[in-house]
Amino acid sequence: MLRLGVLGSGSGSNMQAILDAIREGRLDAEIVLVLSDNPDAFILQRARDADLPTALIDCRGFAQKFPTAAQQETAAALQAAGAEIICLAGFMRLVKRPLLDAFPRRILNIPPSLLPAYPGLHAWEQAVADGATESGCTVHLVDDGMDTGPIIAQARVPLLPTDTPATLHARIQIEEHRLYPEAIKMVAQT
């Protein structure tokens, strides 16, 4: 059984999708630790409701930076929990070394964009503003760039003439929740 660690900063809907896939037998895995840099993140409540172990990441008061010491502590906690693959689920900090070194080619992210288009924050807003004809989501291996790692899988979502950023984002999230468990299986088989 695959052992997953999850890092998130927000609602945790992608973690919930992974957990649902596990419970439904579509993913042979278990979530061994859920970490958040935000003590008020709903991902922590979702994890507690599922009796999953949780902990906070101490980013030393930085609003966006992920300090080296915090990454070392995060890597140590994930290793102590026996995590094999790390899933970023709405984690809003850029992962660097030493966390990347602790889990080489084993950290996944799922930005709401068809990479390489619109890396970074609010990709769905950028797609609507640019008049793009499609958007979607990408699962990729995390490297030390902003959404630049090798792509594992993508799901396309057409932009409708009536789309707002909110309606597009909602449709992208449906695809994220379907795609992430499938991509985890793909990585586990490599």
Interval 86-120: pLDDT, tens: 999 999 999 999 999 999 999 999 999 999 999 98
CATH 3.40.50.170 for the 2-188 domain, yes or no:
yes
- Which residues partner with 6 through β-bridges? 34, 87
Give the Cα separation of 73 and 131 in Å (integer): 42
pLDDT confidence of residue 139? 98
> Residue 142 has what DSSP assignment?
-
User: Closest Cα to residue 111, out of 98, 129, 95?
Assistant: 95
Residue type, 189: Q
pLDDT above 90 (res 190): no
Helix boundaries (H) for 81-164? 99-102, 123-130
pTM over 0.85: yes
pLDDT above 90 (res 19): yes
pLDDT above 90 (res 159): yes
pLDDT confidence of residue 112? 96
> Residue 164 has what DSSP assignment?
-
Question: Domain segments of the chain: what residues?
Answer: 2-188
pLDDT above 90 (res 121): no
Helix boundaries (H) for the chain? 13-23, 42-49, 68-80, 99-102, 123-130, 165-188
